[in-house]
Amino acid sequence: MACTLALACAVLADCVRVTGGVALPADRDGPRPVTAAMLPELLLDASTVNDIMGAHGMRVKDSRSRMFDSGRQFPDHDCLAAWMPIEKMVYTDMDWTATLAQTLTQNSQDHVAIQAATVFADRRVAQSFFDMTAQHWKSCGERTFATTKDGYPESAWTFDTVADVDSTLWMTQHQDDSPGWSCQRALRVTNNVAIDVLACKLYVSDEAVTIANGIDARLPSV
């Protein structure tokens, strides 16, 4: 399946920068900031992701504390933020201090999910990242893009309209040459954390938003 090859390229791509976590000072208002040490507690376990995706055999295939780099696979860099979570070019120079991402797949590759949480210096920086990224997302809705492999066109994807509600973005991507294969993207900022999710399956619905909601519920409330 072409979609599996496209996602595999993005998931296994190398990155340039690896960052370590640093302790963050507590804000004087709102919940305490999230630190790098808290990231493993935020991501959903595989059984929960299976339930959300309507799958039975999804397992963690890749876990990393570095960014993806899909720039060669998705040449339209202005819309790279909407294409994949935690892309290196999207987060560069955005004052993030640590990230953790997991890719979960089923053996048959008919369910794929990427869940990621990235810590920023403080909530103001995180919100600034969201505001800037939202502008890129919104210019990419209702457009068609072609992924590439080794410089040659591989697959065409059509992006739906982008929704932006309460510091959450979401959008559905449809693979044009497949019978229903689609992905939902979701990006949410809460406190000093960006939650970045991709969920792919036949006839995807609100799976990415649901995963993002689940991660958000694990953030400190005090």
pLDDT tens for the chain, 222 residues long, are 444 434 544 444 433 333 444 444 444 567 899 999 999 999 999 999 999 999 999 999 999 999 999 988 998 999 999 999 999 999 999 999 999 999 999 988 899 999 999 999 999 999 999 999 999 999 999 999 999 988 788 899 999 999 999 889 999 999 998 989 999 999 999 999 999 999 999 999 999 999 999 999 999 987
Name which of 221, 163, 164, 158 is nearest 30 in CA terms.
221
Domains of the chain from N-terminus onward: 2-11+32-216 (3.40.1000.70)
The Cα–Cα gap between 65 and 41 comes to 14
- Radius of gyration (C-alpha) of the chain in whole angstroms: 16
Q: Tell me what pLDDT residue 75 has.
A: 86
pTM: 0.86
